[in-house]
Amino acid sequence: MSNFSHQLHSSYGHPVLRHWAANINAFSTYTFVYPVFISDNPDANEEIASLPGQRRIGTQHLLEYLAPAIAAGLKSVLLFGVLSGSEKKDSIGSLASQPGNPIPPAIELLRQAHPNLLIACDVCLCAYTSHGHCGVLDSDGRIDSAFSARRIADSAIYYAKAGAHVVAPSDMMDGRVREIKEALQDRSLLDRVAVLSYACKFASAFYGPFRDAAQSAPSFGDRSRYQLPPRSAALAIRAAERDVDEGADMLMVKPGTAYLDIVSQVHQKFPNHPLAIYHVSGEFAMLWHGAKAGAFDFKRISLEVFGSMLRAGANIIISYATPMALEWIREDSLV
Ligand code: PBG
């Protein structure tokens, strides 16, 4: 079995990855990654009511949707696929790795239009399974971990072949980073695709608006069997150790605001791995609605929160406020 934790070539193939490899904890256009919800309906251009300013977007409108952020210096996106009809979903999430999945056409379009943009893809089954869980279930309704890891690797390979620079498995289960690395190795893609692991992902109420955006809420049960218990720092650190051991190139803590102690611990334990923090849908919505209600100023509160993430040791911030943050950087008005 290969020891992927000692193979570095996927970590610096792209200029944005090389920048991230410097682990600089300061605001720049490289700091921010913009999550984008790609619909399988090419004509889609739908507001997401729960996520102000964000849209479910089809390939026909994607370039126009990203144009302002690109003009402000956007360096990277994190793509999420959304299926427009529940009849397209099945128990094993077939469309996570087959034509009909909206991600490969979006990758192709973005790579042509913006050759320097780093394209990361969320890799998960939850948007493609009829039950909305992140893995495949066994006859008792529990996650079949080994089979799920293989399905997740299938999806990662599908995106890798389409030209993704980074694959980001978000299910949080054992073995899936290694499964993805082995699948990449088998297809000679190891040096072209880096793995960003959602290593420390907590079972969080902050994901509420996202499940509406991605139309991926579980139809029964919840995700606490495969996401971390919010009060356990110990398990979070073990999850990061597991993923480093399996060969993750970069790590992530998610959500952000309520988990800065975890960011700090992971940063201290693995100072040589780029560390992303996901400022998730509920955190963004909280700031947006609070500012709208007059409680505080959106820009000031966002920069305070993002600044605290850098202070804790993150060097990559995944945020729905990315287009705005890039504008603030461009105006040189980061107070
Ligand atoms: C699951 C996934 C989720 C998010 C990213 N990937 C939701 C979940 O785990 O329930 C949440 C992101 C956000 O809230 O902004 N594939």
Of the candidates 82, 95, 213, the one whose C-alpha atom is nearest the C-alpha of residue 155 is 95
What pLDDT, on the 0 to 100 scale, is given for residue 203? 94
Question: Whole-angstrom Cα distance, residue 256 to residue 103?
Answer: 26
Considering 75, 254, 269, 292, which one is annotated as catalytic? Answer: 254
What pLDDT, on the 0 to 100 scale, is given for residue 205? 94
CA of 131 to the centre of ligand 1 (A): 15
Sign of CA dihedral 83, 85, 86, 88: negative
By most ligand atoms within 8 Å of CB, the mutation choice from 80, 128, 207, 225 for ligand 1 is 207
Does a structural domain hold residue 19? no
Does a structural domain hold residue 13? no
CA of 80 to the centre of ligand 1 (A): 10
Question: Whole-angstrom Cα distance, residue 77 to residue 119?
Answer: 5
Considering 75, 201, 269, 292, which one is annotated as catalytic? Answer: 201
- Ligand 1: residue whose CA is nearest its atom 10: 207
- Ligand 1: residue whose CA is nearest its atom 5: 170
For the chain, list residues with pLDDT below 70. Answer: 1, 335
Does a structural domain hold residue 118? yes
DSSP string, 155-196: HHHHHHHHT-SEEEE-S--TTHHHHHHHHHHHTT-TTT-EEE
Q: Which amino acids bring their CB within 6 angstroms of ligand 1?
A: 122, 124, 126, 134, 170, 207, 210-211, 223, 280-281
What pLDDT, on the 0 to 100 scale, is given for residue 97? 96
Which amino acid is it at 251? L
Question: Whole-angstrom Cα distance, residue 269 to residue 67?
Answer: 38
CA of 209 to the centre of ligand 1 (A): 9
* pLDDT tens digits for range 97-139: 999 999 999 999 999 999 999 999 999 999 999 998 899 999 8
Reported ipTM: 0.94
Does a structural domain hold residue 111? yes
Is 299 assigned a catalytic role? no
Does a structural domain hold residue 187? yes
CA of 240 to the centre of ligand 1 (A): 18
Radius of gyration of the chain (CA): 18
Count of structural domains, the chain: 1
- φ, ψ of residue 51 to 5 degrees: the values are -125, 85
- φ, ψ of residue 72 to 5 degrees: the values are -90, 5
What pLDDT, on the 0 to 100 scale, is given for residue 188? 95
The boundaries of the domain holding residue 95 are: 30-330
Is 88 assigned a catalytic role? no
Kindly report the CATH number assigned to the domain that includes residue 270: 3.20.20.70
Beta strands in the chain (DSSP E): 32-39, 45-47, 55-57, 76-82, 118-123, 166-169, 194-201, 250-254, 275-279, 316-319
Does a structural domain hold residue 161? yes
* pLDDT tens digits for range 215-236: 777 777 777 778 999 999 999 9
Does a structural domain hold residue 279? yes
Does a structural domain hold residue 307? yes
